[in-house]
Amino acid sequence: MVVADTERITAKTFGVEDSHPDWCGGCGDFGILSAVKQALATLGRPPHEVAVISGIGCAGKLPHYINSYGLHTLHGRALNVATGVKLANQNLEVLVAGGDGDGYGIGAGYLVNSGRRNLNIAYLVHNNGVYGLTKGQAAPTMRRGQKTKGMAEAAIQESVNPIGLAIASGYTFIARGYAMAQRDLVSLIVQAVRHRGTALIDILQPCPIYNDLMTIDFFRGRDVGHNRIYRLEDEGFDGRVHDPSNPDEIVAKQQAAIAKSFEWGDRIPTGVLYQVAAPTYEDELAGRLPELGTNSLLDLATPGQDISRLEDAYR
């Protein structure tokens, strides 16, 4: 487990030998785990400089299988905990992971408000349309009228549009990945982590046990004769804002991303939907207290601060 800094960093560096995923066979979480480790290797940060913070559910177990610092927190609260971790120590590479129920349901308020902050973290949402660990209830991503074999009745609530929600919330990097498209997913995770600001990747994944609608065959498009999943870049879609000082370009790119976010059915877009360079929360803090530009609270906030002037102000 102890990894010397000199050791070459590979995906194996982030592996945990004595802890084995208890996900079901064929679960998309395996693909996401593998992509995360591969991305971390590409990024080259040693394990002790990485923190993976997760919510509750199958996806929430992710940090148990990664050699890094990890907190497997509460349902819907991973972004909150990650915010505290990142602000305490800005040198940490903070990844956040959770399911779609975790992030878009019980944690929806934190999804929105984390976007407003634009902290330098990456958030991976494992989107399989169902609550797996509680045996297949509809997640907020389940579309109205849909019914999996585990649901008693078809969904009568509209689904949330996470990409649109992320745009409206101020996310500065928004992408969609697919758990079974490894190489693309690794690339998206690397880009998300390298992006300065809060990045969201909505990762489509099959739940082979409870979601008989979003199956591998569905994504492969057996029924329609072509792969439903396609890459935005292959069609010349460019979600990146090239001139962040140009509000017209920002609005145009946001509108294009939202339009793409509604594409579902025979064709499902993946890749970077939107990206813009904007001041991070850390930048704002450094503007307030310049020392925070180069140091973390961990180093600065030492006990025994001199408060004599504060006391005197009340005399």
Long-range own/partner contacts, residues 151-160 (CB < 8 A, 24 or more apart): 160/104, 160/105, 160/108
Size of site (CB under 8 A) for another protein: 60
Query: Does residue 5 bind another protein (CB under 8 A)?
Result: yes
In sequence order, which ranges of 10-76 are alpha helices (DSSP H)?
28-43
Written as six digits, the tokens of 277 are 């360079």
Q: Supply the minimum distance, in Å, between the C-beta of residue 249 and another protein.
A: 29
Query: Does residue 69 bind another protein (CB under 8 A)?
Result: yes
C-alpha separations of 310 from 5, 28, 159, 306, 307 in Å: 43, 55, 52, 9, 5
Give CA–CA dist 311/315, Å, rounded.
7
Q: Supply the minimum distance, in Å, between the C-beta of residue 289 and another protein.
A: 6
Nearer to another protein, 117 or 228 (CB): 117
Q: What is the DSSP letter of 232?
A: G
Going by DSSP bridges, is the β-strand pair 50-54/229-231 parallel, antiparallel, or unpaired? unpaired
Region near another protein per CB under 8 A, out of 28-36, 66-74, 237-245, 269-277? 66-74
CA 60 centroid distance within chain: 12
- Estimate the crossing angle of helix 78-88 against helix 281-288, to 10 degrees: 40
Query: Does residue 315 bind another protein (CB under 8 A)?
Result: yes
Query: Does residue 8 bind another protein (CB under 8 A)?
Result: no
Q: Which residues pair with 143 in a beta bridge?
A: none
Query: Does residue 48 bind another protein (CB under 8 A)?
Result: yes
Q: Supply the minimum distance, in Å, between the C-beta of residue 91 and another protein.
A: 6
Binding mask 100-139 for another protein (x = CB under 8 A): ---------xx-xx--------------------------
Q: Which residues pair with 122 in a beta bridge?
A: 95, 199
Q: Which of 27, 85, 160, 232 is close enough to bind another protein by CB under 8 A?
A: 85
261 neighbors 273 (Cβ within 8 angstroms): yes
Q: Supply the minimum distance, in Å, between the C-beta of residue 205 and another protein.
A: 21
Nearer to another protein, 80 or 148 (CB): 80
**Which residues would be at the binding site for another protein (CB under 8 A)?**
1-3, 5, 19, 46-49, 51-53, 56, 61, 63-64, 66-74, 77, 80-89, 91-92, 109-110, 112-113, 285, 288-289, 291-292, 297-298, 300-305, 307, 310-311, 314-315
